Amino acid sequence: MHRIVQRKHDAKVAYGQHGLKRSADHIPHTSKMYCALRRCKPDAPLLEAALHRALQQGFWKGFGNMSGIMTGLIMILVLLLLIMGGVGIAIWRVKSMAQRAFGTSDLREGIRQIEQEYAMTPKSISAMTGLYLPKIKSDFPEFQYDEMKVRAENALTSYLMAVDRMNQGILKEGNRELHDKLEMRIQMLQGAGRREHYKNIKLHRTELCDYKKRDGRCIITFQSAVQYYYTITDENGKIMGGRSDMLTQSRYNTDVIYIQDREKVEDERGLSLGLNCPNCGAPISGTGSKVCEYCGTPVIEVNIHAWTFSNIIEVK
């Protein structure tokens, strides 16, 4: 009897709470602990208690690991919510600004409206008619401003149409210098395999912007605000630049030249200072001509003092 009690006491010491905890710390799996206990052949109640404590300790340890994972997931979720909240606030502010600026909360629609408004707004021009016209009238009392302005607008429109159709003959106004520039431009486009298109040309306003006298010549410059649909295409008709669905606003300078010095004209005819009939714009064959050979208008000595267009250029 004494030996049985002693054996139970030894078993309690060997497989007591302290021993089981130490075994659980060193044995990662409950199955290994179970096999070790089976080899020692302890009493069944003690084995059951040891297994229960080991399973309970493993549960809490796993629960601790799960708690750490859950904490990390919660932190990530909170961070994502903060980011989403910041993005939402930013979007709300952008929409509010767009609503105040453009009258719509859609930023893309607002930008499109700005583009459309810009495309529909004519370019401003340098209107110096009030300053230069009295000087021109003083130098040339018979100068007809309204008539010359119409001619300048027609010359500009014809010039753009000639480029559009690659046909120099469309331009009826202008001296040899202007026609040479137009021909060179068309040849450059043909060499590059490109075409420039000017559709629905409309002039908004034309005013005098400059008047100067030099080298026996007087030069009056008209500036025009003009709009059109502008595109550049290749030989296959593919659009390489510009937009066919949006207007282009621009401005052009048109120079009108007047030759005062007969010797200057005769010396520089080879430099494209040709003269034109003041009525129809046709070139006059010689300085001694008395009548225009195309329309029959008398040009007695007026051929020396005729106004003619010498340059058309876009102003950026």
Establish if 13 belongs to a structural domain. yes
Checking 123-126 for CB contacts under 8 A at 24+ apart, the result is 123/225, 123/249, 123/250, 123/251, 124/225, 124/251, 125/205, 125/206, 125/207, 125/209, 125/223, 125/224, 125/225, 125/251, 126/207, 126/209, 126/210, 126/223
Q: What is the CATH classification number for the domain harbouring 273? A: 3.10.450
Give the pLDDT score at 99: 66
Q: Are residues 63 and 131 in the same domain?
A: no
**Mean pLDDT per segment of 10 residues, for the chain of length 316 residues?**
50 46 44 49 57 57 63 83 83 71 64 72 93 92 92 96 95 91 95 95 96 86 96 93 92 89 47 57 55 70 64 94
Is there a single domain that holds both residue 159 and residue 267? Answer: yes
Are the beta carbons of 259 and 217 closer than 8 angstroms?
Answer: yes
Start-to-end C-alpha separation, the chain = 119
- Residues 222, 304, single domain; the answer is yes
What is the structure's pLDDT at 26? 45
How far is the C-alpha of 168 from the C-alpha of 159, rounded, in Å?
8
- d(CA 79, CA 85) in angstroms, rounded, equals 10
Write down the pLDDT at residue 83: 87
Do 129 and 268 have their domain in common?
yes
| Model pLDDT, residue 76 | 86
Number of domain units in the chain: 2
Domain stops at, among 51, 69, 87: 69
In a domain, 104, yes or no: no
**What pairing do the DSSP bridges indicate for beta strands 248-259 and 307-315?**
antiparallel
Range of the domain at 217: 124-315
pLDDT at 193: 94
232 in a structural domain: yes
Query: Is position 36 within any domain?
Result: yes
Q: Are residues 309 and 201 in the same domain?
A: yes
